[in-house]
Chain A
């Protein structure tokens, strides 16, 4: 074997090929629902019922246009994005501050309180929504678009996120922080100059988790928007395609595609930043 080939095989030993094969197979499985959605979105309803899995006869974009205009998917998508960003930013900020306060600022008994709050989060959403709804109604928050969702999601996610961050803070060697303190840095500066750059991995993790939760949450979103037609996110809006006459599958699938494809692009785009920042010397070692 030539040297080039040897190097190639050294860098790509057998197990990598096995991995690649498995990954491709799994990828096909994972992409199945999206493929199904794409295929169905190009059919008419009758075509769909006559053969669920067949390829569409013509490419017709009317479902997309209909989903966008009549189904208002653009609006729901925008609302979901606003709610997501509007929740994640406060969650991360509050959680970081809280975690730092517990880990470094010696607030008494707070760790127990935090675990307690996290445990409370385990209560099924169904029972939390009524009292929350009544409270918000009395405070007239329900009439403000987005706020009911953002406040609830933030309140629910902060304890868990703070625990993760606090655990991470505990693993930072204390010498680093002492060094900063010796250099005359105050707590705030220590937080920003020392901790945050180290935290990118954890922050990325938390953002991923929080985004998944906020984006897919339906029960509270539906409850909070009972009497309004504004500020409705995707999870609730997509259910409008169901009726007791049957789900309008082609329309629903067009709506799903309208949602997934920009999300895929956004995710792809952001990933470069996540991973680059994680591996480019920001992480300890």
Chain B
């Protein structure tokens, strides 16, 4: 028995060694990082002194993901700053980035630059976890923005905490082949009304096998958020609502929600039952197979979605108006960066931001379908029709929504609507009202 145990142990050790060889690259590097990370703390101390330590200062950034586009961005950043700083990229993940940054903050671990949405900074600002960037935004940098009003999005209490770099708002890709088959024509200019949109979807369902539209479960809240903005028909009422002065049980809201519910119950959204549980992969797969005509997609993902699904016969359509006004306001926002309080290298982070918003890089991003908010100059590589289609509504974006009142309200509307209304009816509205009143009383 002892011999067997010995054999077992020796095999375990052998396998460990074998696998360690594959990881031996990481092993030799790991001793390197032990020193580097040790430096991360000391770097903070010598930052102001400057020039004393010969090792490069760390620059930890959580701004990229595992896409080809982001990989090229990383390469460019490395090219530009690799000599000066020890650059560390960590993968950005939408679901966990907030948790990651806050956990690191509790221990004072260094994170210098994080991608986050300017409109959602409340939970960082209120906990004093974001660095005030007002002082770093000099005139030269301000000049690069096509419209400096966009900086309002990242400003809280007069201080700038988050620098926007990309525009994002809902877009719709229409499968032209299906439309042709059903005999549906898109409006010449402007958007349909929601009723016209429903009519078109019905025609498509009658004349073809396809469903009318499809929306990803994480974006189902768009329907509700746009309703909240558009159903009023005039700016005054809309602003009153945004400030939280109007109850969620207002008839206009209830009617609108009932309208959306009916659309789902009628099977307007792929795949009929379960229209609220569609994942992004299912969305793309079904679109690629022509199972529905209208795909709701963020404007920044349009190019990616077209690439993955391989659909070439398409049109970009405007979000249908859920209210009565001619130029309905649209929900929209930006992607942006902020510097957490536990940063160790603020100068480096600012340099990277400025670099990424230079004309050259804005140009590059634009050609990849990213709707930058900075000036990009002329470029023949950009598909102008696509660009025009994606940007023609940029002026309608209404940055402040009722969600911005309070973090819990934000969470409820973003993640629990419209599902909670469909499942629980009026009690969901009661919960929303409770949150609204709690937010107002603070």
Contacts and interface: CB of A to CB of B under 8 A. Distances in A.
A–B direct contact (CB < 8 Å): yes
Contact of A144 (B25, B34, B67, B71): B34
Interface in A82-99: 82, 85
B11 A270 contact: yes
A277 B1 contact: yes
Interface in A136-171: 136-138, 140, 142-145
A46 B285 CA distance: 9
B19 A46 contact: no
B415 interface: no
Interface string B30-54: 1001100110100000000000000
Interface stretch (B89-97, B135-143, B351-359): B89-97
Nearest to A274: B8
Contact of A229 (B12, B16, B33, B66): B33
B188 interface: no
A223 B30 contact: no
A246 B304 contact: yes
A197 B2 contact: yes
Interface residues of B, number: 58
A49 B288 contact: yes
A130 B277 CA distance: 32
A78 B22 contact: yes
Contacts, number: 164
Contacts of B37: 142-143, 227-228
A273 B309 contact: no
A230 B29 contact: yes
Interface string A230-246: 11000000011111111
Contacts of B107: 133-134, 136-138, 142
Nearest to A228: B33
A77 B67 contact: no
Contacts of A74: 22-23
Interface residues of A, number: 61
Contacts of A85: 12, 16
Interface in A114-137: 129-130, 133-134, 136-137
Contacts of B20: 78, 81-82
B104 A226 contact: yes
Interface in A13-52: 45-46, 48-52
A223 B23 CA distance: 21
A75 B109 contact: no
B4 interface: yes
A227 B110 contact: yes
B309 A223 contact: no
Contacts of A229: 33, 88-90
Greatest chain B CB density within 10 A among A74, A143, A245, A269 is at A245
A276 B8 CA distance: 11
Given A78-B19, A79-B23, A247-B281, A227 B106 contact: no
Contacts of A64: none
B15 A245 contact: no
A142 B304 CA distance: 37
Given A49-B284, A133-B103, A243-B67, A226 B109 contact: yes
Given A75-B22, A78-B22, A240-B91, A137 B11 contact: no
A190 to B, nearest CB: 15
Contact of A81 (B2, B16, B109, B289): B16
Greatest chain B CB density within 10 A among A50, A143, A280 is at A143
Contacts of A137: 107-109
A30 B301 CA distance: 35
A246 B280 contact: yes
23 contacts: A49-B284, A49-B288, A49-B289, A49-B309, A75-B22, A82-B16, A136-B107, A142-B37, A143-B38, A196-B5, A226-B100, A227-B40, A227-B90, A231-B26, A240-B91, A242-B65, A243-B66, A247-B280, A266-B15, A269-B11, A270-B12, A277-B4, A281-B1
Given A227-B111, A245-B65, A266-B15, 7 more contacts: A49-B289, A137-B109, A143-B40, A270-B11, A276-B4, A277-B1, A277-B5
Interchain residue pairs A-B with the least CB separation, the first 5: A78-B23, A137-B107, A143-B37, A243-B65, A145-B30
